[in-house]
Chains A and B, each alone.
Chain A
Amino acid sequence: MEILVYGTINSVSLALMGLGFAMVYGISRVPNFAHGALYIICGFVTWILFHSLGLPYFMAIILSLCVNGILGMLMYRFVLIRVRGMNISEIIASYAIGLVILEGLRFGGFRGMTYTLPAFMEGSLMIGDVPVDYHRIIMTIIGISLVAGLWLFTHYTKIGLALQGMAQDERAALMLGIDSDFMAMLAMGFGAVLAGVAATLILPLGNIVVESGYHVLIMSIAVCIVGGLGSWVGAFFAAFLIGYAQIITVVFIGSHFQMVVAILAIILTLILKPSGLFGQQKELEERV
């Protein structure tokens, strides 16, 4: 029972982390290695708005999500657009931006145990014989509804359909009058907002520490690769796979191995089936 409950919660938080990465990669083919940095910066912006400026919590969250979205778009507009299509430069550039943000925050004194966000709702609930606090339940519900909302968004709105068109075939989308650079910028913005949503949902469970930026990056890459780069439905299922695998390892082997499971999952998936569980790319493109 404990495995089931905490496995689901862990899976949903992994899915939240991975969605943004999957979305950006799926649409603009830019592996956004600054994802973890965007996640952390959203947490700190919320903290600053909430604690230093004294805004209401809900408004602080909305504002910081906007800030994050704009940051993501700026990052695309001024940096990534210039290296788009050059895989390695994309990785190095976005990773370097992530490093600048994360290490800049660390230098700016954002470290230690002092930075926490309050939970949405205090108290806890018994599911079967396992105590679960309300925040984790809210997180799970929001996470799942977010995925559903995203699915509806990409299937039934004009922008969503345009984004999907870009993801399927960029040249064809260009011919149909979809501005691919604008859409990619938008996707980057959405990705950043999703990273922010993940941050505001997950961070109240612990401290905001810079190190977790790297952790989030690794986990989102793990989720996306296992699910198949570019397929966020795959990412969602992969999150459940890795999430349960992690909880099972923690329960039966030890918490040290949690990270090992994720990294092992990446390596094994890449070796056995590089296009992932739900990958859209043909295998020939990435393998010889």
Chain B
Amino acid sequence: MSTQELRKERIDRGIKVRSDGLYALMSLRELSYLTLPRFILIAGMISLPFLMPGMYWQRVISIVCIYAVLALSFDFLSHYVGLVSLGGAFFIGTGGYVAGILNTYYGVPPVLTVPLAAAIGGIFCTLMLLPCLPLKGVYFAIVTLMYPLFMARIIEAFDIFGGTDGIVGIDSFSSAFVEQYFVVCMVLIFLFGLRRFVTTDRGLIFTAIMDNDQAVKASGINITKYKALAVFIASSMGCMAGACLTHIYMWSGISQFSIDFSILPIAATVIGGAGTLVGPILGCLILVPVSELLRDFGTLRIVFYASILVGFILFRSDGIMVFIQRKYEQFERWTKI
């Protein structure tokens, strides 16, 4: 029989169907079917710092986690609220500067600066983005792309916060161990928190805003308030990541507003699987180490991940995670048409 008379059909595995419902707890097998992927992720993330061969690669893991948080916030904002923000660097930079200023000018220890930066930076970013919340699609994307550039130019032009040199002499985390586990836990908490959050009532409103904002408005829900809330959640995640970055490098400067922080999380999200929340983390785990390996080649790494990005957008726009999920939950077979 030639393939023209056949088609591939995908059917959910029985175990998936059974464990979807209330009976998931009935057998150990089904229970492990559900918990295994999550267990692998958590155990993998926690053991990563141990598995890494040296200081350098342990540092890379911290950077991976920072990008992962940023990618998570991008994925949440674009695929669960419908606001595509190309300004990840805006969040990172704001968080970084807030942490740097608090630490050097007011002597706040890193334990406090990180949550403070998340709160203050989140409020600042939300206020800055508040006027553009009515915008949709391309317009919101362009305006968010401009914000990090704008901030960098403002700091440069007014020569505030150390101007082009940045703020130096910021305290680091008390040890490498604390640093790594802090960021790893941050990723895990945000990941599972967001997964929970998007299924709550508020999360449903966000998804509804993405699908049809007019209908949500007609239901008497103030969409600007909810969009602002979503931006606050996403931006405080980004700011927290930025604060960690500042403490890891003991420096905050204009390059934290650079294009790297906007493009890599997007690339990671596209590669990992948009809208899955786990996908962006997977994408970062792949992309960041590879780009670290290519560091010797200078700007070639940007070329590298930009071309991967184009490739994935064109040929595999659903990403790795969706593919894995499909293999895990469904089986395929050929049937006659």
Contacts and interface: CB of A to CB of B under 8 A. Distances in A.
- Tell whether A and B belong to one assembly: yes
B295 to A, nearest CB: 13
B150 A256 contact: no
B108 interface: no
B153 A270 contact: no
B138 A92 contact: no
A124 interface: no
Contacts of A79: 310, 314
Contacts of A107: 297-300, 303
A263 B214 contact: no
A201 B259 CA distance: 28
Q: Is the interface of A mostly helix, strand, loop or mixed?
A: helix
B204 interface: no
Interface string B144-158: 001101100110110
B142 A93 contact: no
Interface in A30-52: 31
Interface residues of B, number: 44
Interface residues of A, number: 39
B231 to A, nearest CB: 15
Interface stretch (B28-36, B128-136, B246-254, B329-337): B128-136
Contacts of A88: 78, 84, 137, 141
Nearest to A287: B134
Interface string A210-247: 00001000100100010001000000000000000000
26 contacts: A31-B138, A88-B84, A88-B141, A91-B138, A91-B141, A92-B309, A92-B313, A96-B263, A96-B267, A96-B313, A100-B306, A103-B300, A103-B306, A256-B156, A259-B149, A260-B150, A260-B154, A263-B149, A263-B150, A266-B146, A267-B132, A267-B146, A267-B147, A271-B131, A286-B139, A288-B136
Interface of B: 78, 84, 86, 131-132, 134-139, 141-143, 146-147, 149-150, 153-154, 156-157, 213-214, 217, 223, 259, 263, 266-267, 270, 297-300, 302-303, 306-307, 309-310, 313-314, 317
Interface of A: 31, 79, 82-83, 87-89, 91-93, 95-97, 99-100, 103-104, 106-107, 214, 218, 221, 225, 229, 254, 256-257, 259-260, 263-264, 266-267, 270-271, 274, 286-288
